[in-house]
Amino acid sequence: MKIDNSQFDAEKATDVSVEMPKNFFERMSNRIARQSSKTDAAGPSIETKEALRLLQNYEETRQGWFWSTDKDGNLTYVTESVAQILDKKSIELIGTPFTQLFVDTQQSDENQRTLPFLLTKRSKFLELQLQAATSNDDVRWWEVSGSPQFDHFGEFSGYRGSGKDITSQRQSAQDTAQLAMFDSLTGLANRAQMSKKLDATLSTFQQQKRTCSMMLLDLDHFKTVNDTMGHPAGDMLLKQVAKRLLKAVDDAGEVGRIGGDEFQILLPDWEDRGKLGELANTIISSLSQPYTVEGSRCIIGASIGIAISPFDGLSSDDLIRSSDLALYAAKGSGRGRFQFFARDLQQAAEDRKILEDDLRDALSREEISLHYQPVVNAKNNTVTGFEALMRWNHRERGPVSPAIFIPIAEDANLIGPLGEWALQRACADAVKWPGNVRIAVNVSPIQFADARLPEVVKKALKSTGLAPARLELEITESVFLAETDETDDMFKALKDIGVRLALDDFGTGYSSLSYLQTAPFDKIKIDQSFVRGATEPDSRNGAIIAAIVALANALDMETTAEGIEALDELEWIRELSVSHVQGYVYSMPVKDEDVHKRFETGDWIIMPEGPAKQRSDRNSMFRKVKLIHENSCYDVMIRNLSKTGALIEGLVDVPVGTKFVLDFGDGQIAVSTVRRSMGQQQGIEFEQRLVDDGNGGLCTRTRISPYLIAAAGMEVPNMSADFYAKKRDDWQHKSIPSFYTTDSWKAG
Mean residue pLDDT across the chain: 83
292 or 136, which is more confident = 292
Q: CA-CA distance, 422 to 425, in Å (whole number)?
A: 5
Give the CA distances from residue 287 to residues 47, 246, 264, in Å, rounded to whole numbers and listed in that order: 74, 11, 14
Tens of pLDDT, residues 42-78: 555 666 566 566 666 666 666 788 899 999 999 999 8
- Give residues with Cβ within 8 angstroms of 16, minimum separation 6: none
* pLDDT (0 to 100) of residue 190: 92
Task: Look up the CATH number of domain 10-173.
Answer: 3.30.450.20
Half-sphere exposure of 343 (CA within 13 A, CB side): 13
- Of the pLDDT bands very low, low, confident and very high (cuts 50, 70, 90), residue 613 is confident
Say yes or no: domain 182-343 is CATH 3.30.70.270: yes
pLDDT for res 325: 93
Q: Are 10 and 169 in contact (CB under 8 A)?
A: yes
| Sign of the C-alpha dihedral computed for residues 116, 121, 127 and 128 taken in this order | negative
Which residue type occupies 156?
A: F
Least confident of 235-239, 386-390, 632-636: 632-636
pLDDT at 131: 87
Distance CA 260, CA 448 (A): 23
User: Residue 13 in 3-state DSSP?
Assistant: coil
Q: For 352-599, CATH number? A: 3.20.20.450
The enclosing H or E element of 558 equals: strand 558-561
User: Is residue 286 within 8 Å of 292, Cβ to Cβ?
Assistant: no
Read off the pLDDT of each residue in 640-648 and give the average, rounded to a whole number.
89
What letter would DSSP give residue 250? G
Average pLDDT over residues 156-172: 88
Which pLDDT band, with edges at 50, 70 and 90, does 24 fall under?
low
Helix-helix angle 46-60:24-37, to 10 degrees:
150
Q: CATH assignment of 620-747, given 2.102.10, 3.30.420, 2.40.10, 2.60.40?
A: 2.40.10
Q: What CA–CA distance (Å, rounded) separates 108 from 93?
A: 26
**Rounded-to-integer distance, Cα 437 and Cα 470, Å:** 7
- Which of 56, 63, 57, 25 is CA-nearest to residue 168? 63
pLDDT band at residue 214 under the 50/70/90 scheme: very high
- CA 718, chain centre distance (Å): 31
Confidence label for 296 from pLDDT (cuts 50, 70 and 90): confident
Alpha-carbon separation of residue 392 from 7, 34, 368, 374, 402 (angstroms): 65, 98, 5, 20, 8
User: Which pLDDT score is estimated for 710?
Assistant: 62
The predicted structure's pLDDT at residue 719 = 45
- Tell whether pTM > 0.75: no
For helices 273-287 and 231-249, give the axis angle rounded to 10 degrees.
140
Residue 736 vs residue 516, higher pLDDT: 516
DSSP string, 438-477: EEEEEE-HHHHT-TTHHHHHHHHHHHHT--GGGEEEEEEG
C-alpha distance from residue 296 to each of 174, 233, 410, 481, 494 (Å):
36, 10, 26, 10, 23
Instruction: Quote the CA–CA distance of 613 and 535 in Å, as a whole number.
Output: 9
pLDDT in tens, 298-335: 889 999 999 999 989 889 999 999 999 999 989 887 78
Cβ(165)–Cβ(142) under 8 Å?
Answer: yes
Distances (CA, A) of 270 to 159, 377, 701: 58, 55, 11
State residue 8's pLDDT score.
Answer: 34
pLDDT in tens, 468-482: 999 999 998 877 766
Q: Looking at the predicted structure, is the pLDDT value of residue 429 above 70?
A: yes
The pLDDT of residue 252 is 93
Which pLDDT score is estimated for 3?
A: 41
Higher pLDDT, 230 or 614: 230
Domain boundary assignment for the chain: 10-173, 182-343, 352-599, 620-747
**Amino acid 559: pLDDT:** 95
Q: Please give the average per-residue pLDDT across 559-563, as a whole number.
A: 93
CA distance 597 to 585: 20
